[in-house]
C-alpha cells in the first residue's frame, strides 16, 4: 500500500522552490465536507510574502498535476487547498491482490513495502524490564504492550528492530532476598508458586530490616558475598533468575510478546569499571561528598541535580548500568535509534542520562560519528476507580497473571452468553483472544502520556472504542464469507471494485489512510493514532454494512462489495496485528 498523504505532499513539494518545500505538507482533512486532504501552504507563504493567499493557491493548483489522483483541488476559507480523491483512484489502488507484501491473509510479518536497505533504520527498543524475584504486576503492562506495539509497527515500516528486555536482575534487593531465603524458606510454597514465595521472602527480610539493624547488616553481608562471586550465593541467584524467567515467559506467551534479547543488568556488571574510568579520565564525572557524579552546571533545570555514577562505598548505580548498556548497544548494533519505554517518573533520569551520554560519546574513540538518537517514550500510571494507583483491596500491587485471568474469565462469560453452541475449546480460545485483546487495546487506545483509569466494564464493553467492537467488525465480515457459497476466495481478491454508494467510497478512502496512520504512530511513538483509525474504519464499515447489502445484491455489485469486505478485513487484521491483538472468526 502506498502512503497517499506522502504522495500528495511529494507532488505539491515538487512545484515549490527548494527553500519552501517544508511548507508543502499535505494533511488529512478533519471534516470530509472540505475534501480528503488539505494544504495550508498558500496561507503560510502568502503571509510571509505579503501576497493574497487565495491567489497563491490558484497559482499552485494550476501547476499541480494530480489528475490521476484526485479532482481539481478547490480553494476554501482563508486559502486552504482541498483535495478530493477520485473513486477510480481508490479502485486502482485497492485493486492489488493483497494490500500488503507477505503471505496473503496472514498479516504477521507483512510490510507496507520493502524499504531499500539505505532507508531502513536500526532501532533498539528497551521495554518491559521486570524485576527478577518479583511477579510481574500491572505496573509492567504498559511498557510491555507499548514496547511490543512499537516494535511491530517499526518492523512493518521496514525498519530493523532489536527488542531488548532489560531485566532487573542485579542490585541491592538480592541481599535481602538471600537472607530471607536462607532463614525463612517454605519449600512447598516455592514449588507451588516460586515467584510468590520469593516475593514473600523479600518482604519478610525487608520488614525485619526496618526493625532490626543487625538483620540489615546481615543482608548487606549477603549482598557483598554475592557481588564478590561467592559460589553458593551465585548459585541461588541463578535459581532466582531461572525461576523468574520461566514465569515471565508464561506471561509473554499469553500476551504474544517476543524479544530478540533479554540482557539484564547483571550482564553489564563487568563493564561498569571501564565506564567509570572513562568518565573519570574525560573529566565528565567528578568526586563529590565521597561519591562520583556528573554535574550539569550550564543547564538551569539540571543545575542542582547531580547524576550519581558511583556510591561512596564504590558500588555502581542505575545510571552506571544504563551508560554501560548504551555503550554495549552501540558497539554491538550501532543503531540509529534507541527507544526506552518506561513510566513518566523516570523523565529526570533519562534527561540526565541522555545529556551525560552526549558528552561522553563526544570524547571516546569507540563511538561512531553518527550517534544514535535517544528517545524516552514514557507513559502515565494506571489508576483504579478511586483515581489512586491501581492496587488490590489489601493494598498490594495487582499481579499481571491475575489481571489476565480475570480478563479471560470475564470474556468467557460473555462468549457463553452469546455463542453457547460453540465447543468449549473454541469458546475458551475466543475468550482468550478477546480478553487479552481488550486489556491491550484499552491501554494502547489512550494517549500514553496520560494516566488512565482501569475499568473492567469499559474495557469489555464491546461497544465504543474497544477491542471487542473492532473484533466484531472482523467477525461480521467472516460471517459473510461463511455464508457466501457462490464465490470462491480467489474471485474476491480480484480487481472487481466499483464504488458507487457514498458508504462504499467512504470505506474505500478510509482503507487508503492506513499507511499514513501507521507512519504517524511510529513518528511520535503513539499507537493510539492507529487505534483511533481502526475504530473509525470499523465505524465506516458499519455504515457500509447497514446500507449496502452484500449477499443480497448480485452481479458486479456483489463482487465489488465482497472485495471491499476483503480489503477491510485485511487492513483490520493487519492493524490489530500491529497492536499485538489477535482476531477471531466468531465471538
Per DSSP bridges, beta strands 122-126 and 160-164 are parallel
Does position 515 bind RNA by CB under 7 A? no
Q: How many residues bind RNA (CB under 7 A)?
A: 103
Closest approach of RNA to the CB of residue 173, in Å: 6
Encoded one letter per residue, x for contact with RNA by CB under 7 A and - for no contact, window 53-72 reads: --------------------
35 binds RNA (CB under 7 A): yes
- Classified as helix, coil or strand, 81 is strand
| Phi/psi at 214 (5° precision) | -70, -35
Residue 505 in the binding site for RNA (CB under 7 A):
no
C-alpha gyration radius of the chain? 28
Tell me: does residue 507 bind RNA (CB under 7 A).
no
One of 7, 15, 16, 29 touching RNA (CB under 7 A): 29
Decide whether 81 or 400 has the Cβ nearer to RNA: 81
- Going by C-alpha positions, the residue among 61, 63, 67 that lies closest to residue 81 is 61
Mask 385-424, x = binds RNA (CB under 7 A)? --x-x------------------------xx--xx-----
Separation of first and last alpha carbons in the chain: 29
Write out the binding residues for RNA, residues 274-313 only, by CB under 7 A: 288-291, 293, 300-301, 303-306, 308, 310-313
- The CA-atom distances, in angstroms, between 531 and each of 16, 138, 430 are 34, 21, 21
Is the backbone of residue 386 left (phi > 0), alpha (psi -120 to 50) or beta?
alpha
Whole-number minimum distance, CB 535 to RNA, in Å? 7
Closest CA to 6 of 529, 525, 513, 521: 513
Please list every residue from 551 through 570 that binds RNA, using CB under 7 A. 551-552
Task: Rule CB under 7 A: say whether 346 interacts with RNA.
Answer: yes
> What's the closest the beta carbon of residue 197 comes to RNA, in angstroms?
21
- Quick count: other Cβ atoms within 10 Å of Cβ 72? 11
- CA dist 246 to 135, 152, 403, 518, Å? 11, 24, 18, 33
Candidate residues 76, 189, 224, 234; the one interacting with RNA per rule CB under 7 A:
76
**169-188 residues near RNA, rule: CB under 7 A:** 171-173
Q: How far is the CB of 177 from RNA (least distance, A)?
A: 12
Question: Taking a C-beta distance cutoff of 8 angstroms, is the pair 451, 385 a contact?
Answer: no
- Min. distance of Cβ 38 from RNA in angstroms? 4
Is residue 32 within 8 A of residue 545, CB to CB? The reply is: no
492 near RNA, judged by CB under 7 A: no
The pattern of x and - marking residues 441 through 480 that bind RNA according to CB under 7 A reads ----xxx-xxxxx-x--x--xxxxx--xx--x--xx-xxx
Amino acid at each position: 500500500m502506498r502512503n497517499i498523504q506522502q504522495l500528495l505532499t511529494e507532488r505539491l513539494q515538487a512545484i515549490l522552490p527548494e527553500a519552501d518545500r517544508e511548507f508543502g505538507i499535505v494533511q488529512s482533512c478533519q471534516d470530509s465536507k472540505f475534501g480528503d486532504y488539505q494544504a495550508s501552504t498558500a496561507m503560510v507563504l502568502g503571509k510571509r510574502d505579503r501576497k493574497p493567499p487565495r491567489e497563491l493557491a490558484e497559482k499552485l493548483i494550476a501547476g499541480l498535476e494530480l489528475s490521476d489522483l484526485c479532482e481539481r483541488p478547490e480553494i476554501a476559507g482563508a486559502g486552504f487547498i482541498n483535495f478530493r480523491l477520485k473513486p477510480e483512484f481508490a479502485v486502482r489502488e485497492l485493486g492489488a491482490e493483497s494490500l500488503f507484501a507477505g503471505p496473503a491473509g496472514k498479516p504477521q510479518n507483512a510490510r507496507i513495502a520493502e524499504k531499500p536497505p539505505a532507508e531502513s533504520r536500526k532501532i533498539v527498543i528497551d521495554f518491559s524490564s521486570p524485576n527478577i524475584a518479583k511477579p510481574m504486576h500491572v505496573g509492567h503492562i504498559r511498557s510491555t504492550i507499548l514496547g511490543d506495539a512499537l516494535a511491530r509497527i517499526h518492523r512493518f515500516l521496514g525498519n530493523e528492530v532489536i527488542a531488548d528486555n532489560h531485566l532487573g536482575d542485579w542490585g541491592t534487593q538480592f541481599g535481602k532476598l538471600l537472607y530471607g531465603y536462607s532463614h525463612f524458606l517454605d519449600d512447598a510454597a516455592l514449588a507451588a508458586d516460586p515467584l510468590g514465595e520469593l516475593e514473600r521472602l523479600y518482604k519478610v527480610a525487608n520488614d525485619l530490616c526496618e526493625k532490626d539493624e543487625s538483620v540489615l547488616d546481615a543482608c548487606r553481608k549477603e549482598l557483598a558475598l554475592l557481588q564478590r562471586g561467592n559460589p553458593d550465593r551465585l548459585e541461588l541467584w541463578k535459581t532466582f533468575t531461572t525461576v523468574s524467567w520461566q514465569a515471565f515467559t508464561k506471561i509473554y506467551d499469553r500476551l504474544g510478546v517476543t524479544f530478540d534479547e533479554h540482557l539484564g543488568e547483571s550482564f553489564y556488571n563487568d563493564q561498569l569499571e571501564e565506564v567509570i574510568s572513562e568518565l573519570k579520565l574525560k573529566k565528565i564525572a567528578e568526586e563529590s561528598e565521597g561519591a562520583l557524579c556528573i554535574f550539569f552546571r550550564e543547564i538551569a533545570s539540571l543545575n542542582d541535580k547531580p547524576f550519581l555514577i558511583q556510591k561512596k562505598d564504590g558500588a555502581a548505580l542505575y545510571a552506571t548500568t544504563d551508560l554501560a548498556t548504551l555503550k554495549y548497544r552501540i558497539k554491538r548494533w550501532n543503531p540509529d535509534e534507541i527507544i526506552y519505554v518506561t513510566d513518566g517518573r523516570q523523565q529526570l533520569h533519562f534527561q540526565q542520562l541522555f545529556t551525560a551520554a552526549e558528552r561522553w560519546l563526544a570524547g571516546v574513540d569507540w563511538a561512531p560519528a553518527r550517534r544514535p538518537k535517544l528517545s524516552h517514550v514514557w507513559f502515565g500510571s494506571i489508576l483504579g476507580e478511586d483515581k489512586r494507583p491501581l492496587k488490590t483491596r489489601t493494598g498490594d500491587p495487582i499481579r499481571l497473571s491475575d489481571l489476565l485471568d480475570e480478563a479471560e474469565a470475564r470474556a468467557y462469560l460473555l462468549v457463553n452468553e452469546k455463542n453457547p453452541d460453540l465447543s468449549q475449546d473454541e469458546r475458551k480460545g475466543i475468550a482468550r483472544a478477546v480478553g487479552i485483546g481488550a486489556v491491550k487495546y484499552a491501554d494502547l487506545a489512550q494517549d500514553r502520556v496520560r494516566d488512565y483509569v482501569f475499568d473492567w466494564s469499559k474495557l469489555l464493553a464491546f461497544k465504543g472504542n474497544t477491542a471487542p467492537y473492532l473484533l466484531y467488525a472482523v467477525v461480521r465480515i467472516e460471517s459473510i464469507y461463511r455464508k457466501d457459497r457462490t464465490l470462491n476466495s480467489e474471485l474476491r481478491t480480484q480487481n472487481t471494485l466499483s464504488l458507487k454508494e457514498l458508504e462504499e467510497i467512504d470505506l474505500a478512502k478510509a482503507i487508503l489512510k492506513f499507511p499514513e496512520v501507521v507512519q504517524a504512530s511510529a513518528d511520535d511513538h503513539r499507537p493510539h493514532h492507529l487505534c483511533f483509525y481502526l475504530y473509525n474504519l470499523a465505524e465506516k464499515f458499519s455504515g457500509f454494512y447497514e446500507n449496502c447489502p452484500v449477499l443480497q445484491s448480485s452481479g458486479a455489485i456483489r463482487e465489488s462489495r465482497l472485495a471491499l469486505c476483503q480489503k477491510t478485513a485485511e487492513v483490520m487484521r493487519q492493524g490489530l496485528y500491529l497492536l499485538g491483538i489477535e482476531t477471531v472468526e466468531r465471538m
